[in-house]
Amino acid sequence: MTAFRFIHTADIHLDSPLKSLALRNPELADLIGGATRQAFSAIIDLCISERVNALVIAGDLYDGDQTSMKTARFLAGELGRLAKAGIRTFIIRGNHDALSRISRELVLPDMVKLFGGRAEHVLIERGQGERPVAIHGLSFAQPTAPESLLPKYASAVPDAINVGIMHTSLGGAPGHDAYAPCSPAELQATGFDYWALGHIHKRAVITGSTTIVMPGMPQGRDINEDGPKSATLVSISEDGSVSLEEKPTALAEFSRITIDAGGLSDWTDLAHALSDALKQARTASAAPELVARIGFTGETTLAWRMRRDADLLMAEAEERAAQTGAIWVEKLEIGCTPPTETRTASTGPLHELRDLIETGILTSDAFETALSQIADTLQGQLPTDLRDLFGTDESETRARRMQLARQGAEDVLARLQSSSGSGSEPA
């Protein structure tokens, strides 16, 4: 008796435009711009090398209102590779696919099943004595689905392995719109052996009588989609037991690297700490390329210089990254502050200005009101998928705004210190 084996993926967002405003390096922009294709090709290669029975794509194969036939030709070619290898593909449309002309016009190979707006199942007959496999799927024709789609699915096929494919936000997740919401308990109650989900970009696994998997996206597109990315290799045995393997797929992994510069007083020591952190991050990542956003924290006498010479610090970071290999520095975030004793012992105009900012401005209701009004206006002008960058609720957004305000104040003080001509900490 052989297990039914398939690769489960979702949220590929093929040929998605660059989202990161910080990808100003042309080489890095080219790398990320082609990364979704590379990840999809890696999934096809994985299907062939693992000799699976099927590829399951649980929605958002495309990215919104795409019209490029280059994307269509690429997709048809890759799925054609699977067809030649005798591997079937099962696809449902997600909320982003509903907007795409490609999903309506692309001619797919015969071994590809694209589920429509009515729930149905495909029965795969197998060898003698082996249970057939029922693949259940449903696509949604509109970019919104405020109600659960689960009632539209048929009951489990008796004496078969049942696999359901659904694009759903489950109970909701930060940064994701509610889409066809349902609960894990409701999915468990269907009696299916496996639910192949999509929509949320972080991997999640729920085990029980039914195995429920959100595979996450196979390739991140900006720093807010950081961390390892993968597809899931699923094996379902005759007795219904399910085994899972997470298979890396990303060409480039986005990573947040935090360096505690507290107590450092020498630029050379800072450079060494930077180098060590980059090496550790590179070792920890399985992706061929690593795109890093580096954040510095802690109290250090170097705080003002790091802000004043941010361009030199970036050059240092890029040099250390080049020495480490296969790392790109996307951005630096300098959150360091001068030591408390330095701030309290200092005198002079800049110290008075710092004290005014910290105790008289940043803590005032008038400043918070003005900051909120400006930020709300700017945030409302952002694309909807970028608005959560400042926070997903009111308290988180307020804290993020104040953090940025404090960082901005430190930047101003560092530049004023530079203009004063002194090489020491702001007085």
189 to each of 193, 194, 400, how far by Cα in Å? 11, 12, 41
Distance of alpha carbon 166 from alpha carbon 270, whole angstroms: 49
Distance of alpha carbon 326 from alpha carbon 321, whole angstroms: 8
Domain end point (choices 337, 363, 385): 337
pLDDT at position 105: 63
Is residue 61's pLDDT more than 70? yes
Express as a percent the part of the chain with pLDDT over 70.
85
Is residue 65's pLDDT more than 90? no
Q: What is the 3-state secondary structure (H, E, C) of 53-111?
A: CEEEEECCCCCCCCCCHHHHHHHHHHHHHHHHCCCEEEEECCCCHHHCCHHHHCCCCCC
Q: What is the mean pLDDT of residues 37-56?
A: 98
Domain end point (choices 279, 302, 337): 337
189 and 319 belong to one structural domain? no
Residue range 106-139, pLDDT digits in tens: 778 899 999 998 999 999 999 888 999 999 999 9
| Burial (CB count within 10 angstroms: exposed 0-12, middle 13-18, buried 19+), residue 9 | buried
Domain end point (choices 337, 362, 384): 337
Q: What is the mean pLDDT of residues 79-100?
A: 87
342 in a structural domain:
no
Q: What is the mean pLDDT of residues 27-52?
A: 94
330 and 370 belong to one structural domain? no
Residue 187: other Cβ atoms inside 10 A: 23
Residue range 351-374, pLDDT digits in tens: 677 777 877 788 888 887 888 888
Residue 143: other Cβ atoms inside 10 A: 17
pLDDT at position 272: 97
38 and 174 belong to one structural domain? yes
287 and 408 belong to one structural domain? no
Q: Which of 36-45, 128-137, 187-196, 337-346 has the lowest mean pLDDT?
A: 337-346
205 and 62 belong to one structural domain? yes
Q: What is the mean pLDDT of residues 320-336?
A: 95
Residue 420: other Cβ atoms inside 10 A: 14
Kind plus residue range of the DSSP H or E element containing 9: strand 4-9
188 and 155 belong to one structural domain? yes
pLDDT at position 385: 58
75 and 215 belong to one structural domain? yes
288 and 318 belong to one structural domain? yes
191 and 204 belong to one structural domain? yes
- DSSP-H helix ranges across 346-389: 349-355, 365-380
Q: What is the CATH number of the domain that holds 224?
A: 3.60.21.10
pLDDT at position 33: 87
Residue range 144-193, pLDDT digits in tens: 777 899 999 999 999 999 999 999 999 766 555 677 899 999 999 999 99
Number of domains present in the structure of the chain: 3
Task: Find the domain containing 297 and state its range.
Answer: 252-337
Q: 361 CB contacts (<8 Å, ≥6 apart)?
A: 367
Residue range 195-239, pLDDT digits in tens: 999 999 999 999 999 999 999 999 999 999 999 999 999 999 999
Q: Which of 38-42, 71-75, 279-283 has the lowest mean pLDDT?
A: 71-75
What token pair was written down for 47?
A: 């299907």
Name the pLDDT band for 341 (thresholds 50, 70, 90).
low
384 and 291 belong to one structural domain? no
Residue range 309-318, pLDDT digits in tens: 999 999 999 9
Q: What is the mean pLDDT of residues 87-94?
A: 95
What token pair was written down for 224?
A: 């807010």
Residue range 385-413, pLDDT digits in tens: 566 667 767 777 888 788 788 777 777 77
Q: What is the CATH number of the domain that holds 306?
A: 3.50.80
Distance of alpha carbon 86 from alpha carbon 132, whole angstroms: 17
165 and 81 belong to one structural domain? yes
Give the distance, in angstroms, between the CA of residue 387 and the centroid of all CA atoms in the same chain.
Answer: 15
Name the strands in the sheet holding 161-167, side by side, starting at the edge strand that comes first in the sequence.
120-124, 133-137, 161-167, 194-198, 211-214, 204-206
β-sheet bridge partners, residue 91: 57, 114
- DSSP-H helix ranges across 309-393: 310-324, 340-345, 349-355, 365-380
Q: What is the mean pLDDT of the chain?
A: 87
Four-CA torsion 316, 319, 320, 321, nearest 10 degrees = 120
pLDDT at position 423: 46
Half-sphere exposure of 27 (CA within 13 A, CB side): 6
